Structures are given as structure tokens and as C-alpha cells.
Amino acid sequence: MRQLWIVVTLICFIFSGSLMVFGAEQKVEKETYQQETEKMLNVFEQKITEMKDKASELKMESKEKFDQEMMVLRKKKEAADKKLEKLKSATAESWDKMKAETDSAMNDLRRQYDDMMTRFRKE
């Protein structure tokens, strides 16, 4: 009976050690993802500023449409910023869900920016 408890204790110890390693790997993944996402958001902020500066050259009608689209772009950036902030406090259980939501917000931002750049270049 005593040997059984020793075996069970060893198994629990080994299992908990592998969970700790997984937790450490997940922590590194989370930190790396956060840093990369923050860098991308900073790049988008710079691109948005550059785009807005160049918009002064647009015709009045085009400028109004640009301003409307810029408002949408800003909202998408704010949404991505908020998702990243929530991701920073995500637990191990909610990490995958929060990462997917952040990815989705970043993709929306990227799509809006690309669409605006395509239209902006045409004018």
C-alpha cells in the first residue's frame, strides 16, 4: 500500500512539473505575442498619421469620404487596443479565446487600412 502512495505521489509530481513547463512556454508565447501586437499597433498609428497628413491634398468631396473612413479606421484601432489590453490580463484558460479576438480585431484594422490606401492612391 505504501508503494502505491509513493507511485501516485511521483506521478502527481511529474504531472505538475509538466504543467509548470507548459505554463512557462505559454507565458513566453503570450509576452512575445503582446510585444509583436504592440509594435504593429504603433506602426499602424504612424501610418494613420502619415495618411491623414497626405489627405490635405484631397478634393473636398474626397476629403469628406476620407474623414468618414478615417473615423472607422480609428474605431478599429481603438478596438484592437482594447483587445490587446484585455489580452494582457488573460488567464491561461482564456488565452486562446482572447488571442483569437485580438487577431480578429487586428485583421479588421489591417483590412480597413488597406482598403483606404487602395482608394486613397486612386485619387
In tens, the pLDDT along 29-38 reads 888 889 999 9
What DSSP element (H or E) covers 58? none
Residue type, 71: M
Average pLDDT over residues 9-35: 64
Higher pLDDT, 16 or 19: 16
CA distance 101 to 50: 27
pLDDT band at 81 (very low <50, low <70, confident <90, very high): very high
Residue type, 104: S
> pTM value?
0.73
Mean pLDDT score of the chain: 80
Average pLDDT over residues 19-26: 57
Angle, CA of 80, 85 and 87, to the nearest 5°: 90
Give yes or no for a contact between 38 and 74, defined as CB atoms under 8 angstroms apart: no
Lowest mean pLDDT among 9-18, 44-53, 55-64: 9-18
Query: Minimal CA–CA distance to 87: which of 74, 106, 69, 68?
Result: 106
Q: What is the Cα 44 distance to its own chain's centre?
A: 12
Lowest mean pLDDT among 1-10, 22-31, 89-98: 1-10
CA-based end-to-end distance of the chain: 82
Lowest mean pLDDT among 3-12, 13-22, 37-46, 87-96: 13-22
Residue with cell 487602395: 118
